[in-house]
């Protein structure tokens, strides 16, 4: 059985006070349940938010990291630094990093290896643009990102990875994939896990959907057989809507 996993990506939003208040609102109402929950504040607020999530049912995630362990990499943050800040997870290869900041599959792959080696759970994002979908290339684009971003992992390592399928055209746009559209890609990803790894890995890996998930569309998406949770942007910035999505996962 795969444990449903809902994660909130706060991106580059919130002041320090807002981040702490948002975390407090979520932590105070989210007890330990069958749903795994994480929040990913901006890196500069990880320390402050970790004081709130400490000992709670809400895990802490970073939004990115660098693959090197330490050294002259101005502005970058290593996996061990994230562990020091009590992070359990790190989002890697988010489409904003791929499309705005030029991250490649090879970059993501180096980060995935470094995160796993350090003991962080990587949430690895894949997803096609609107042009790629309209050209009928969704399956091949997602397969290429899967193969490139997750190259060279052992079966054991892959079992610890969380995949997030996030169609770029659905992120922050209010245009959500239909449950059928999302399930089709999730089922393809599950098949890839089976062919590239094995059936045990395919059965174990959680695949989140991300892209304009809201309390009112979450239940139908999360009800699909291969959708094991959600990576939530906008709707994770309000306590009620984030908790509403968690409730829909139950
Ligand atoms: C995201 O940024 O990962 C995301 C899914 O954003 P939104 O929920 O706002 O579409």
**9 pocket-lining for ligand 1 (C-beta < 6 Å):** yes
Nearest-angstrom CA–CA distance, 125 and 78: 19
What are the boundaries of each domain within the chain? 5-249
**164 pocket-lining for ligand 1 (C-beta < 6 Å):** no
Q: Per-residue confidence at 129, pLDDT binned at 50, 70, 90?
A: very high
**231 pocket-lining for ligand 1 (C-beta < 6 Å):** yes
> HSE (CB half, 13 Å, CA atoms) of 73?
10
Q: Per-residue confidence at 31, pLDDT binned at 50, 70, 90?
A: confident
Q: Which CATH superfamily is domain 5-249 in?
A: Aldolase class I (3.20.20.70)
Single out the catalytic residue among 94, 103, 132, 186: 94
Position in ligand 1 atom list of the atom nearest CA 125: 3
- The dihedral formed by the CA atoms of 141, 144, 148 and 152, expressed in degrees to the nearest 10: 140
**172 pocket-lining for ligand 1 (C-beta < 6 Å):** yes
Mean pLDDT computed over every residue of the chain: 97
Q: For residue 169, what are its two tokens?
A: 């055209």
Percent of the chain with pLDDT over 90: 98
- Could you give the C-alpha distances from 236 to 11, 95, 114, 123, 141, in angstroms and in order? 10, 17, 27, 16, 27
Nearest-angstrom CA–CA distance, 239 and 219: 18
| Residue nearest (by alpha carbon) to ligand 1 atom 6 | 233
Q: Per-residue confidence at 147, pLDDT binned at 50, 70, 90?
A: very high
Summarize the confidence of residues 51-57 as an average pLDDT.
97
Q: Per-residue confidence at 1, pLDDT binned at 50, 70, 90?
A: confident
With a CB cutoff of 8 Å and minimum separation 6, the contacts of 193 are: 158, 201, 202, 205
Among 23, 79, 82, 81, smallest CA distance to 51 is for 23
Tens digit of each residue's pLDDT (9 = 90 or more) over 203-221? 999 999 999 999 999 999 9
Q: For residue 176, what are its two tokens?
A: 């959500």
Q: Is the dihedral of CA 209, 215, 216, 220 positive or negative?
A: positive
Q: How far apart are the first and last CA of the chain?
A: 14
């Amino acid at each position: 059985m795969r444990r449903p996993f809902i994660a909130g990506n706060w991106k580059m939003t919130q002041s320090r006070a807002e981040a702490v208040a948002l975390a407090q609102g979520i932590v105070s109402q989210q007890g330990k349940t069958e749903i795994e929950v994480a929040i990913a504040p901006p890196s500069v607020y990880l320390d402050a938010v970790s004081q709130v999530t400490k000992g709670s049912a809400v895990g802490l995630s970073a939004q990115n990291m660098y693959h090197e362990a330490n050294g002259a990499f101005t502005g970058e943050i290593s996996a061990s630094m994230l562990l020091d800040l009590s992070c359990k997870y790190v989002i890697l290869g988010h489409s904003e990093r791929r499309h705005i900041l030029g991250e490649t599959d090879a970059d993501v792959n180096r980060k995935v290896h470094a995160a796993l080696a350090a003991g962080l759970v990587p949430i690895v994002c894949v997803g096609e643009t609107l042009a790629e979908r309209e050209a009928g290339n969704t399956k091949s684009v997602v397969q290429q990102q899967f193969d490139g971003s997750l190259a060279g992992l052992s079966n054991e390592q892959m079992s610890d990875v969380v995949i997030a399928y996030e169609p770029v055209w659905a992120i922050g746009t209010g245009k959500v994939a239909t449950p059928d559209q999302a399930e089709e890609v999730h089922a393809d990803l599950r098949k890839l896990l089976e062919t590239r790894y094995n059936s045990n890995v395919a059965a174990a890996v959680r695949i989140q959907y991300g892209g304009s998930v809201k309390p009112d569309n979450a239940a139908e998406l999360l009800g699909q057989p291969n959708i094991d949770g959600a990576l939530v942007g906008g709707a994770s910035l309000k306590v009620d809507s984030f908790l509403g999505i968690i409730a829909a996962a139950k």
